[in-house]
Amino acid sequence: MGAYPDCRNSDTRHLVILRLEEIFHNSNHRSEEVEELKATAERIRMAVEKISPFIQQATQAVCPKCEDICCKSKHGYYNFEDLVYIHALGLKAPRHESGRADSDPCQFLSEKGCTMDRTVRPSGCNWYFCNALLDDMEEMPGYREFDDALREVAELWINMTEQFAKIASSSDIRNE
């Protein structure tokens, strides 16, 4: 699979979103493959939803005590694969505030945590676990089940990106 465009650039992101909308809403693309990709994205969403309470329990215990908040802008950007996932679910990615430094707090961080549902957060955010959080999670009952479910999400994610690569091979979306 070739390199995908850097979606942190707002102009590039806009072009990618337009192309994804075309792929997911244009009947000229292989509809059976697009429907299969949408089903995989839905399986990812359901798997993330299933593990979210475990992660939430850990973050509620660890994050309020943290003095060096991990929820930084650099983790809050949608990469290309995130945008594929969002569009496969039939959703639109929220608008990003431009001009934020990577070290700034994430635009979606509130006093009570993230304002976004875990199932649609950028992967850089969703799958970043600091050492303190990991240590806490490893001690929690149900960690083994969580770890297995997380592995399943990763496998589904890889499957989704491979499915998209097949669809995109007839398109010029890669390497733009």
Which pLDDT score, from 0 to 100, does residue 95 have? 82
Which pLDDT score, from 0 to 100, does residue 84 have? 95
How many domains would you assign to the chain?
1
Residue at 5 is within a domain: no
Classify residue 53 as left (phi > 0), alpha (psi -120 to 50) or beta.
alpha
Residue at 29 is within a domain: yes
The tens-digit pLDDT sequence of the chain (176 residues) is 357 888 888 888 889 999 898 888 775 656 888 999 999 999 999 999 999 999 999 998 998 888 888 888 888 889 999 999 999 999 988 887 777 888 898 889 888 888 999 999 999 888 889 999 999 999 999 999 999 999 999 999 999 999 999 888 765 444 44
Which pLDDT score, from 0 to 100, does residue 27 have? 54
Question: Contact 5/69 with Cβ under 8 angstroms?
Answer: no
Which pLDDT score, from 0 to 100, does residue 170 have? 64
Residue at 45 is within a domain: yes
Residue at 151 is within a domain: yes
Which pLDDT score, from 0 to 100, does residue 176 have? 42
Residue at 175 is within a domain: no
- Domain assignment of residue 91, given as a range: 10-168
Residue at 86 is within a domain: yes
**Which run of H or E residues covers position 3?**
none
Which pLDDT score, from 0 to 100, does residue 175 have? 42
Residue at 90 is within a domain: yes
Residue at 52 is within a domain: yes
Q: Model pTM?
A: 0.89
